[in-house]
Amino acid sequence: MKNGMLTIFRKELARFFGDKRTTLGTILLPGVLIFVVYTFMGSALSSQFSVEDDFVPAVQAVNPPDSLAALAGQAGLELEAIQDQAQAKSLLESQELDLLAVFPADFDAQVAAYDVGSGQSAPVVELYYNSASVDSAAAYEMLAALLSSYETSLANKFDVNPGGGAYDLAAETDTAGALMSSMMPMLLVLFLFSGCMATAPESIAGEKERGTIATLLITPVSRSGLALGKICALSIIALLSGLSSTVGTLLSMPTLMQMDGEMQMAYTPAHYLALCLIILSTVLFIVTCISLISAFAKTVKEAQTYVTPLMILAMVVGLTAMFGGGASTQVWAYLIPFYNSVQVMAGIFALEVNWTFLLIALVSNLAYTAALTWGLTRMFSSEKIMFQR
């Protein structure tokens, strides 16, 4: 059995790597495309939804008070006094102006005379802006924050978190880890599944379609050796494809998510080891599932049609990492195929590796893989299934 399995294993790898176009398209191209697209998206989003560091908004004001002139200058705002509101609003609509502030004619006097306990309406400041413009929205936030601070300074009864102290006790790696753990499990499952779908149907259903499966079945190779050889070879190919996509994603994440290098440095060799183990067991399970379905199908197209619902299910399970509030602490969660891998990956990317749960997920994935491999062996032994047209 061992020699037969190795023969099939080498044959599958030689068939795949012998075709350079297939090799490049399956392994190298996905990672390169993902890196280029995600990096471009990150750069484009950053420039589209943020302003330059030296940004000075164009602000016009009706009746600008003298009390705010100095504060506005310190905040990088210059209030241009005007009288025509209609023209300013027209400029806002055409995005030629960033902000229009309308103050009461005697704003300082009204503020000084206003009694909070009187029950009367407070002086009103109107801020007009265009939310479709990033510069306009930024100018609105700047002046609104300035006015809020000015209002607080007029009747300061107590302070909340004064000064520049660090009151948010969450580390930057914790925040970035929570973001990574919500996205990466779904992306990893998708990449691994795509790599498996690109090779497994062709290896089994393709040989049935071409009629070459009969040649394999009449050789002295045992059915279990045939199944194991194909599964191992396909798993290596799928791993390489998934690895390419994962590396492309990880390299583009700092630009896409506007993160610095501190988050990448937070992952230790233990995190990478745990990730490799769970990816390996997940790929073995996915390859075996697709191989089993491909053995039942008559053609590659039919196999891909049958596998698509399983891929959609895996993607839906991957989405649970976004809404689960972190990795599950329930043992049963690590016994469910796909879901267990997603939960382990979520914990790893959140910098929390639970080795007990990882071991449970690994054992369950390998057990499911062994059961499906036995089923694939039985299908290879069935002439009715293997020679159906």
pLDDT digits (tens, 9 = 90+) for 48-75: 555 565 667 878 888 888 888 777 777 7
> What are the percentages of helix, strand and coil residues in the chain, rounded to 5?
70, 5, 25
Q: Which residues contact 365 (CB under 8 A, 6 or more apart)?
A: 281, 282, 284, 285, 337, 340, 341
Measure the CA–CA gap between 301 and 306, rounded to whole angstroms.
9
Joined together, the tokens standing for residue 174 give 């914790």
- Going by C-alpha positions, the residue among 286, 287, 304, 299 that lies closest to residue 233 is 287
DSSP per residue, 2-23: HHHHHHHHHHHHHHHHT-HHHH
Measure the CA–CA gap between 194 and 237, rounded to whole angstroms.
11
pLDDT, position 344: 92
pLDDT, position 170: 55
Joined together, the tokens standing for residue 157 give 């009864």
pLDDT, position 174: 63
Q: Which residues contact 206 (CB under 8 A, 6 or more apart)?
A: 300
Measure the CA–CA gap between 292 and 273, rounded to whole angstroms.
29
pLDDT, position 371: 92
Measure the CA–CA gap between 354 and 327, rounded to whole angstroms.
10
Would you kindly state where each structural domain of the chain is located, as residue ranges?
2-45+177-386, 58-154
pLDDT, position 335: 93
Predicted model pTM: 0.68
pLDDT, position 42: 65
pLDDT level of residue 106 (50, 70, 90 thresholds): confident
Measure the CA–CA gap between 389 and 214, rounded to whole angstroms.
13
Write down the CATH number for the domain with range 58-154.
3.40.190
Question: Do residues 202 and 289 make contact, with C-beta atoms less than 8 angstroms apart?
Answer: no
pLDDT, position 362: 94
Asked whether the predicted pLDDT for residue 313 surpasses 80, the reply is: yes
Lowest mean pLDDT among 87-91, 179-183, 277-281: 179-183
pLDDT, position 309: 92
Residue 231 neighbours by CB distance under 10 Å: 27
pLDDT level of residue 369 (50, 70, 90 thresholds): very high
Q: Summarize the confidence of residues 29-45 as an average pLDDT.
A: 74
Give ∠ CA 171-174-175 in degrees, rounded to 5.
95
Measure the CA–CA gap between 196 and 240, rounded to whole angstroms.
10
Q: Summarize the confidence of residues 38-57 as an average pLDDT.
A: 64
Asked whether the predicted pLDDT for residue 388 surpasses 80, the reply is: no
Asked whether the predicted pLDDT for residue 325 surpasses 80, the reply is: no
- Going by C-alpha positions, the residue among 348, 333, 217, 232 that lies closest to residue 291 is 232
Residue 343 vs residue 38, higher pLDDT? 343
